[in-house]
């Protein structure tokens, strides 16, 4: 198993710089494959549901969606990790929903963010081949959160101002809410 990477924290200028596109040769390079494997290890170590390359110090357009139930998101759907290189939004819903978000680059803080319910996305997959997918609900939320990192935006820029709370208070709230039926 590859070694997890250190997650860049808010204040580091890399999080405020737009990520660069990967060329077709770069997508299939050993360096990129190693970066993706280490990002996957980092997601697991952080118990995250997604990660963007700038968060681990690589200013390139790679995101990974790795949804599964966690303490922070107990109702999250379980999906195999989706590696997206040079993702591009081709359609989005007009409908939006508000939901809680946190970020490995801003530990200890949660906030409510309004996101589109649906996204249609084109990207290059882990093999460097063109791909396309439709994401809705929580998966669309993860995508938008990670895509924002590629655009030099963090969730606190989009969060509803009075919604912030600490991770500890968020966990207390999650434990006190009645379990939702699946």
Catalytic residue among 20, 98, 136, 146: 146
Res 63: pLDDT: 98
User: Of the given ranges (28-37, 105-114, 140-149, 165-174), which has the lowest mean pLDDT?
Assistant: 165-174
Tens of pLDDT, residue by residue over 2-23, are 999 999 999 999 999 999 999 9
**Residue 181, pLDDT above cutoff 90:** no
**Residue 176: pLDDT over 50:** yes
Catalytic site includes residue 80: no
Please name each of the domains of the chain with its CATH number: 13-176 (3.90.45.10)
For the four alpha carbons of 97, 176, 73 and 13, in that order, the dihedral sign comes to positive
Backbone angles phi, psi at 93, to 5 degrees: -75, 160
Closest CA to 20 of 152, 162, 181: 152
**Secondary structure of 20-34 in HEC code, one letter for each residue:** ECCCHHHHCCHHHHH
- When pLDDT is averaged across residues 77-82 and rounded to a whole number, the result is 97
pLDDT above 90 coverage of the chain, percent: 88
Please report which helix (H) or strand (E) contains residue 49, including its range: none
Instruction: Give the DSSP H/E element, type plus range, for residue 3.
Output: none
The pLDDT, as a whole number, for residue 182 is 40
Structure confidence at residue 127 (pLDDT): 94
What angle (nearest 5°) sits at the alpha carbon of residue 131, between those of residues 130 and 133? 160
**Structure token pair of residue 45:** 């170590």
pLDDT tens-place string over residues 100-136: 999 999 999 999 999 999 999 999 999 999 999 999 9
């Amino acid at each position: 198993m590859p070694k997890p990477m250190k997650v860049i924290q808010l204040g580091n200028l890399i999080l405020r710089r737009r990520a660069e596109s990967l060329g077709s040769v770069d997508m299939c390079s050993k360096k990129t494959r190693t970066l993706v494997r280490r990002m996957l290890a980092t997601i697991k170590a952080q118990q995250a549901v997604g990660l963007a390359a700038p968060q681990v110090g690589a200013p390139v357009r790679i995101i990974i969606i790795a949804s599964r139930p966690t303490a922070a998101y107990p109702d999250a759907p379980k999906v195999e990790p989706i590696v997206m290189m040079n993702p591009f939004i081709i359609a989005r819903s007009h409908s939006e929903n508000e939901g809680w978000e946190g970020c490995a680059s801003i530990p200890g803080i949660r906030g409510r963010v309004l996101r589109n319910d649906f996204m249609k996305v084109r990207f290059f997959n882990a093999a460097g081949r063109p791909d396309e997918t439709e994401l809705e609900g929580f998966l669309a939320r993860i995508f938008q959160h990670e895509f924002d990192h590629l655009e030099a935006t963090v969730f606190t820029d989009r969060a509803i101002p009075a919604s912030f709370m600490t991770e500890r208070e968020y966990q207390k709230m999650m434990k006190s809410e009645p379990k939702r039926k699946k």
